[in-house]
Chain A
Amino acid sequence: MLLKNDRLPELLQSLSAEQRVYVPSNTSNTSAGVSRFALYGTGVEPDFELVNTTMPPKDLLFPQTQKMYRYGFDTEGLPFINAQHDGDEVLLFGIRSCDARSIECMDDVFLTKGFVDEFYQTRREKLITVALGCSHVAETCFCDSMGLDANRAPSADVQLTAVSDGYEVHAQTEKGTTALEAWRPFLTETAAPEASPSVPNVQCTLKVDMTGIKEKLDLMFDHPLWDEISKKCITCGTCTYVCPTCHCFDISQENKMNAGERFRCWDSCMFSAYTEMAGNHNPRAEKMPRVRQRFMHKLCFFEDRYGKSLCVGCGRCVEKCPVALDITMLIDQIGALELGAAGQPGATESVTEGGSHVAH
């Protein structure tokens, strides 16, 4: 099936009458150069040429602040607790392979291993993802090094592939097949749709070699590399908040008069307060353990628990880190290490910035 370019606005118009449709857009805040997935409607122009939005789409499943329940005393003085479950059907239109993979990672965390997060689940069940193959890559994109394909997102409900006069449309899940029913009036039958998928072959220019990285990290908890790379980190939360897979949260409340609201909100392992416990004990009060935790979680711990990397190669942190603490450079540095017993560096070498070795 083919979605011709000139039918696309009509399709979005039509769909947005029934669902909340989110499209990549930098319409608002153009001067600030900030793009995001915005609710399609008045004043929001989709831009499908954006490689990656500044902010990932994760807030549609895992909002920065999510109300959980309200509590308090009602007008008759009786206590109440009202759970709050929000979530309309949402169509996420035009996500890239990296963001589609990030939803797989979030699903692992919030829906598997015997833990089902009802707040996430409510939104997830009502989410339909429409992936769009990348027509070009940013200099910071490295998804194919992380085992992804910029041209295809297998887990998305619908996959769009750009062709000369529009997009080839393929349903990839049951949800996608159902969703496409509403698209039918806007689609054109193609001659031999399945036989000639004509997938473009977009490749990332930034490459890293992930071979053996996880196995090395298993041995590297006490490696001096962490001291070295963490020096320049200013411990802001930028990398974690622009990351499509970072999913840590805090639960807090706001009380007003005789009622209050419990909510959860994004938190970041880069913040000291993140690990602060009752009685003021803080296992990661210092900078180095926090930096180590972030990279270990991305490249090692998540792999242990869920069998995949928590880094999807979208490059947002690479682009936005104010001090260029670049995960791809770290991967190179780890790759270049020759580890002795228990992960310590060899006696005669230390690692410098950029992964080169300096003999003492």
Chain B
Amino acid sequence: MTQAIEAALRKRAQELLASGEVAQVIAWGSGRLTKQTAPLFVTTPEQADTIVFNDYCVNALAKYAFTERDAGKLAVCVRGCEARGINRLIADKQIEREQVYLLGIPCQGMKDRLSDEPLAKCVACTHRNPVIYDELLASEVTVPVVPVPQSAAERFAEVKEIEAYTREERLALYNDAFDRCIRCYACREGCPVCTCRECFVDQSDVGWQGKQGNTDENRYYNLVRVFHIGDRCIECGECERVCPMGLPLMTLNRKWIKDLDELFAAGEAGLTEELDNALGHYDVHDVEEFM
């Protein structure tokens, strides 16, 4: 299936660039190492043949629709994860729908190139088919190779497990993780939802975030990050994938998502272009237990 998608991608990229419909195609190319791929930016029809699509396209591309937003009209490859990221960028008014041409890709989930195991983010994925696209390059995935979590209960299983810990156990678990954090901010930079022109971390005049690398400052950064994106998190898992220190960031994100789900019936983010995130609008029926 991936081979057919790769061929279709190359063909459409070539046509879109040749006709001038788009200025750039954002896809994947090959890396140097075995089974390695990397984000690829194709600007001429001749380069379209360097596009690669296989089981190891681990990078989620949605953030590039934001970083490349001033580079003319973009064609972006969208699987479930990218599509929800694009929806979020549109809802957050970071890009216009007309700025992007979306090449939809049904996805069976990606594998880690070294272990050949499905990526954690792909095991947890609930949308194997793109939820927004201009054209679909293959027929929709109906029976995913890696099973899709069927219910919220399944999605939040790990969170529930940790909620059942004692306070001390939870503290120990997360202090161990935060202790490991090197504050490279890869989680922020890879996230399609982190689009602030100036991150609170960088507002050094205000001094929200101390520059010390220690457990307290690391905890503060990580928790504020989650608070800030929690209701818009599309659960693409890119933050956890890019983390060089293996922090369980999606578990943290899902705790927020679960709470929002319980308080506001928030559901999943990024399924439409509408601004529907729980903390982004007000409803008279919202819980007010703190008032």
Contacts and interface: CB of A to CB of B under 8 A. Distances in A.
B186 A324 contact: no
Contacts of B247: 32
Contacts of B33: 139-140, 318, 324, 326
Which of B50, B213, B245, B246 is most buried by chain A, counting CB atoms within 10 A of its CB?
Answer: B245
A232 B39 contact: yes
B244 A320 contact: yes
B72 interface: no
Interface string A132-152: 000000011000000000000
Contacts, number: 127
Contact of A329 (B32, B34, B39, B63): B32
A250 to B, nearest CB: 6
B23 interface: no
A211 interface: no
Contacts of B39: 231-232, 323
B44 interface: yes
Interface in B37-57: 37-41, 44, 46-47, 50
A3 B176 CA distance: 35
A32 B63 contact: no
A29 B176 contact: yes
A29 B31 contact: no
A358 B44 contact: yes
A261 to B, nearest CB: 9
A323 B38 contact: yes
A236 B204 contact: no
Given A236-B189, A353-B50, A324 B31 contact: yes
B68 A322 contact: no
Contacts of B41: 228, 231-232
Interface in B1-55: 29-34, 36-41, 44, 46-47, 50
A322 B186 contact: yes
B213 A32 contact: no
B119 interface: no
A31 B248 CA distance: 10
Interface in A15-61: 28-29, 31-34, 54-55
Nearest to B38: A324
A272 B199 CA distance: 11
Contacts of B152: none
A323 B186 CA distance: 10
A98 to B, nearest CB: 18
Interface stretch (B131-139, B177-185, B266-274, B281-289): B177-185
Nearest to A228: B41
Interface stretch (A109-117, A189-197, A263-271): A263-271
Given A54-B244, A139-B34, A231-B68, A265 B186 contact: no
Interface in B173-213: 176-177, 180, 182-186, 188-190, 202, 204, 210-213
A266 B211 CA distance: 9
A334 B64 CA distance: 25
B223 to A, nearest CB: 19
Contacts of B31: 324, 326, 329
Interface string A323-345: 11110110000000000000000
A188 interface: no
Given A236-B189, A324-B31, A353-B50, A34 B245 contact: yes
A54 B186 contact: no
A322 B214 CA distance: 23
Interface stretch (A84-92, A162-170, A237-245, A299-307): A237-245
A238 B68 contact: no
Contacts of B210: 252, 254
A351 to B, nearest CB: 11
Contact of B50 (A34, A54, A263, A354): A354
Contacts of B64: 231-232
Q: Which of A64, A236, A320, A329 has the most CB of B within 10 A?
A: A236
B184 A276 contact: no
B244 A273 contact: no
A29 B246 contact: yes
Interface of B: 29-34, 36-41, 44, 46-47, 50, 59, 63-64, 67-68, 176-177, 180, 182-186, 188-190, 202, 204, 210-214, 241-242, 244-247
15 contacts: A29-B246, A32-B180, A231-B41, A252-B212, A254-B212, A263-B212, A265-B211, A268-B184, A273-B202, A320-B244, A322-B244, A323-B59, A324-B32, A325-B38, A326-B31
A-B pairs, 10 with minimum CB distance: A32-B246, A236-B186, A324-B38, A322-B242, A64-B213, A237-B184, A234-B189, A232-B39, A324-B31, A236-B189
